[in-house]
Structure 1
Amino acid sequence: MMLSAEELLAGSELTFEVEIPGDVLQPGKNDWEENPSRRTVRLRPLTIHDLQLIDRAAKESDNLVAALMVHRALVEPDMTVADIMNMHVGLMQFLLHQVNQVSGIEATSDLLSMTMEAPLAKAAFILAREFGWTPQQVNELTLGQVLLHLQMLKEKS
C-alpha cells in the first residue's frame, strides 16, 4: 500500500513524553522522591528546517548546537536557550540523546553539521522532485524520515 504525503509528514507533528531518571536530573542525590510525573519533559522531532536554522545559528560551536537542538525539540517546559545552556552536562547529554532518538537520528554534532551541508540540500531537492512535495513539506521532515525516503527511492530504482 502506497503511503500518502500526509502520512509520511505526520511524524514531525508527534510529541513524546520522556522521563528523566532521578540520578540524571540530580546526580549524587540518593533520596530522590520517586514521582515520575515530576520528571518528564515533552519533546518533538527535529525537522530539516530546524537543523538548517541550528547550523546557521551555531556555526562552529558544538555546545551551542546541542543546546539549540534541545531548545528546538523541547515543547514542555518552555525554556530559553540560556536556561538550557545552564543545565549540567549530564542532563544536557541525556536530553540530546532523547532528541536524537525521537528525531530518528543518532549522530554527533560534527556528523550533524556535515549532514546539513550540500548533501541535505540535494536530498531535499530529490524528495521534492520524486514525491512532488513543496519545499515547506520537505522542511518539515525529520532527518530520520529523509533517510527513510531516500532509501525507499534507492530500492525502487
Structure 2
Amino acid sequence: MTTLTPEDLLAGADATYDIMVPPDILRPGDSDTENGLWVQLRPLTIGKFQLIIKAARDDSSLIPLLMVKESLVEPTLSLEEVKKLRLGLVKFLIEHIRNLSGLTEKKNY
C-alpha cells in the first residue's frame, strides 16, 4: 500500500486551467463572434474559501463575486470589476470554479 505524501495532497492547489468562454456567454446575440475567448482559473483552496466566507459574513451575495476574483488568474480583476460582469458570465465562471475546486454539491447562498 502506498500512502500519499503532503506534496501529493497539496499538488494541484497552484494548478491553473484554461477555460474557453463560449461566444454566447461573452456577447449574447452577437452573431459576428465565431470563437470564444479564454480565461485562466485556479481551484479555490479551503483556506481561500474560508477567507471568502468570512469576508462575506455580512453580505452573502459577495460569495460568488469573491470566488471569481480569487480564482481568476488571467485576466486579473478587482472586486469592483467583477461586480460589473454580466450575470450569465459570473454563473458560467462559478460553475467552472466549483468543478475545479471539488465543490460539486451545490449550496444555496
TM-score by shorter chain over 0.5? yes
Identify the structure with the greater strand proportion.
2
Greater helix fraction, Structure 1 or Structure 2: 1
Distance change in 2, residues 1:57/1:50 (3 Å): same
Displacement of 1:61 after TM fit? 2.7
**Counterpart position of 1:87:** 85
Identity of aligned residues (%): 37
Q: Which has the larger radius of gyration?
A: 1
Question: Which residues of 2 match residues 52-71 of structure 1 at below 5 A?
Answer: 52-71=50-69
Q: Distance in 2 between matches of 1:19 and 1:30?
A: 17
Structure 1 residues 136-156: Cα deviation after superposition (integer angstroms, max 9, x where no partner): xxxxxxxxxxxxxxxxxxxxx
Alpha-carbon contact 1:45-1:73 (below 8 Å) kept? yes
TM-score of the aligned structures, taking structure 1 as reference length: 0.64
Q: How many residues align?
A: 107
Q: Which runs of 4+ in 1 moved over 2 A?
A: 60-63, 106-110
Counterpart position of 1:40: 38
Q: Deviation at 1:75? A: 0.7
Quick check: 1:20 aligned with 2:30? no
Q: Structure 2, unaligned stretches of length 5 or more?
A: none
Where does residue 134 of structure 1 map in the other structure?
A: none
- Normalised by the length of structure 2, the TM-score is 0.90
Letter in 1 for 2:107: T
3-state SS, counterpart of residue 14 of structure 1:
coil
CA distance in structure 1 between the partners assigned to 2:76 and 2:65 by the alignment: 14
Q: Sort the Cα spacing of 1:69 and 1:24 in 2 relative to 1 into closer, same or farther, 3 A.
A: same
SS at match of 1:13: coil
How far off is 1:30 after superposition?
Answer: 1.4
